[in-house]
Amino acid sequence: MEDANQLLARLAVRAVLERYFSCVDRQDWEGLGACFAADATAVYNSAGPQHLTGRDAIVAKVQVVKRFNSTHHVFANTDIVLARDDAKAQTQAIAYLLIGPAESGRVLVRGLRYDDELSRTDGLWRIRRRTHMPLWQYEAKALPPGY
């Protein structure tokens, strides 16, 4: 059974992972950058692996979502393993990406997995290594909001 400090650490790690998705969808690039260590590394596996080094390079890569009219990332589940001031997390997510207007566009739906290593420095958890792996996807016709 975990003690209170371990539970708080687990919640703090989860909060960073959730904030990442929220920042992507709001296009809050400063907030997104704060989720990563300054010297973080990442591999994004869309259309082949792209290796990135540094917070700024990672934020620039994620800004590819600007091409969509809207995005919505759903944090599905995560498995977090703590080791003092380090953590490993594997997170499943679903991304909904609107291509074109909501009334007549298309929605790209993607199943994703994120393998992360995080560290706590000065009391703050940040992602220091990330591997982004698309697992499946499909595209569907968008419908106007409402029912």
Q: What is the mean pLDDT of each run of 10 residues along the chain (147 residues)?
A: 89 97 98 98 91 98 95 96 96 97 92 98 96 97 81
Q: In this structure, is residue 146 part of a structural domain?
A: no
The predicted pLDDT at position 145 comes to 80
The predicted pLDDT at position 2 comes to 77
The predicted pLDDT at position 147 comes to 61
pTM: 0.93
Q: In this structure, is residue 41 part of a structural domain?
A: yes
Q: In this structure, is residue 79 part of a structural domain?
A: yes
Q: Are 144 and 102 in contact (CB under 8 A)?
A: yes
Cα dist from 54 to 43, 51, 89, 138, whole Å? 12, 10, 20, 31
Domain count, the chain: 1
CATH of the domain at 36: 3.10.450.50
The predicted pLDDT at position 112 comes to 97
Q: In this structure, is residue 147 part of a structural domain?
A: no
The predicted pLDDT at position 10 comes to 95
What is the extent of the structural domain holding 108? 4-141
The C-alpha R_g of the chain, in whole angstroms, comes to 16
The predicted pLDDT at position 87 comes to 98
Q: In this structure, is residue 114 part of a structural domain?
A: yes
Q: In this structure, is residue 82 part of a structural domain?
A: yes
Phi-psi region of 107 (alpha: psi -120 to 50; beta: other; left: phi over 0): beta
Q: In this structure, is residue 27 part of a structural domain?
A: yes
Residues 6 or more apart whose CB falls under 8 angstroms from that of 34 comprise 19, 126
The predicted pLDDT at position 143 comes to 86
